[in-house]
Structure 1
Amino acid sequence: MRFSAVIAAALPISLSLAATTSMKGTVSYDTVYDNSKLSTLNIACSDGSHGLNTKGYKTIGALATFPYVGGAPAVTGWNSAACGSCYQLSYNGTSVYFTAIDKADTFNMGLNAMNKLTGGKAKKIGVANVTYKKVAESKCGL
């Protein structure tokens, strides 16, 4: 019994360490996310119980992390539970907090944001290899 109690006590620690582990992924750009006036009604995370518009964010520019907003693999579609999830993306020593607002196969942000992340190389490289980890939504101002 004592051994299983030790395992049970260690399990939450193991799970929290796994949640902070950096993963490898990619980021690309779509200029639609450069428009700070883009209505949140035009993205997967629009209305519904998990929607950003429902939470008072009428445009993507109203989000604290703008311009670091866009599509993310965790967002599965309209009203996804992952709407508003926050990630730390890192590229060659530069890190940003990114808010997931739309569905995408990889991370996808505006051209301006990707240029800031990659030191102005977004158009040249098109897709950047990044490390990322999910972090508390408070890091993204939510």
Structure 2
Amino acid sequence: MKFSSLVVPVVLAALAAADTLHYDNIYDDGSQSLDVVACSNGANGLETLGYTDFQSLPTFPYIGAFGAVLGWNSAECGSCWKIAYTNAAGKTTRIHALAVDHAGEGLINLSQEAMDKLTDGHAVEFGAVQVTATQVAKSACGIKK
């Protein structure tokens, strides 16, 4: 019985991780072609699902780069993430964002609009914030496959 009580916290910790969130204005440009991101083509690419540019994605502008995407054609392309940010007053805001590109380990880069939503309009002022990112079903981001 003690073994099973140790397994549950480890599994839950693997599903949610603390990350540093930045914004990158490239993800705010809806006309930007998917050809400029790691999750463009290939078997795991978003173009194979019929998407062509950022604005064609169901969660736009809540898109960006995640450490879970290891590079071009990563199995994590198109993964959906619930991102939670808690401000200094203890208020937590959550959004869902779609992984379309690669970021370094422990990093998330989203559109400024997405970061503004999380930080109540303070993306530029804050520059970077700590968030908790939890991978959820792709359907939460409107991806059917």
TM-score by length of 2: 0.83
Pairing of 1:101-112 with structure 2 (within 5 A): 101-105=100-104, 106-112=107-113
| Equivalent pair of 1:19/1:133 in contact (CA under 8 Å) | no
1:121 aligns to 2:115 (yes or no): no
Contact 2:62 2:113 in 1 (8 A): no
Residue 90 (structure 2) pairs with residue 96 (structure 1): no
Larger C-alpha radius of gyration, 1 or 2?
1
Residues 72, 108 of structure 1: 8 Å contact kept: yes
Q: Which amino acid aligns with 1:117?
A: L
Q: How big is the shift at 1:116?
A: 1.3
Contact 1:86-1:140 at 8 Å conserved across structures? yes
SS of 2:71 mapped into structure 1: coil
Q: Percent identity?
A: 41
- Unaligned 5+ runs, structure 1: none
- Classify 1:20/1:104 alpha carbon distance in 2 versus 1 (closer, same or farther; 3 Å): closer
Residue identity opposite 2:122 in structure 1: K
Q: 1:30 aligns with which of 19, 24, 34?
A: 24
Q: Output the TM-score relative to the length of structure 1.
A: 0.85
Do 2:18 and 2:131's aligned partners in 1 also have CA atoms closer than 8 Å? Answer: yes
Tell me how far 1:22 sits from its aligned partner: 2.9
Could you tell me how far apart the structure 2 residues matched to 1:62 and 1:97 are? Answer: 16
RMSD over aligned Cα, in angstroms? 2.2
Partner of 1:28, secondary structure, is strand
Report the counterpart of residue 140 of structure 2 in structure 1.
139
Matched to 2:103, the amino acid is: A
Report the count of equivalent residues. Answer: 133
After superposition, what is the alpha-carbon deviation per residue over 1:14-44, rounded to whole angstroms, capped at 9, x for unaligned? 59x5378432111101100000111111111
Matched residue, 2:89: none
User: How far has the Cα of 1:137 moved from its partner?
Assistant: 0.5
Q: Is the 8 A contact 1:20 1:135 kept in 2?
A: no
Q: Which runs of 5+ in 2 are unaligned?
A: 87-91
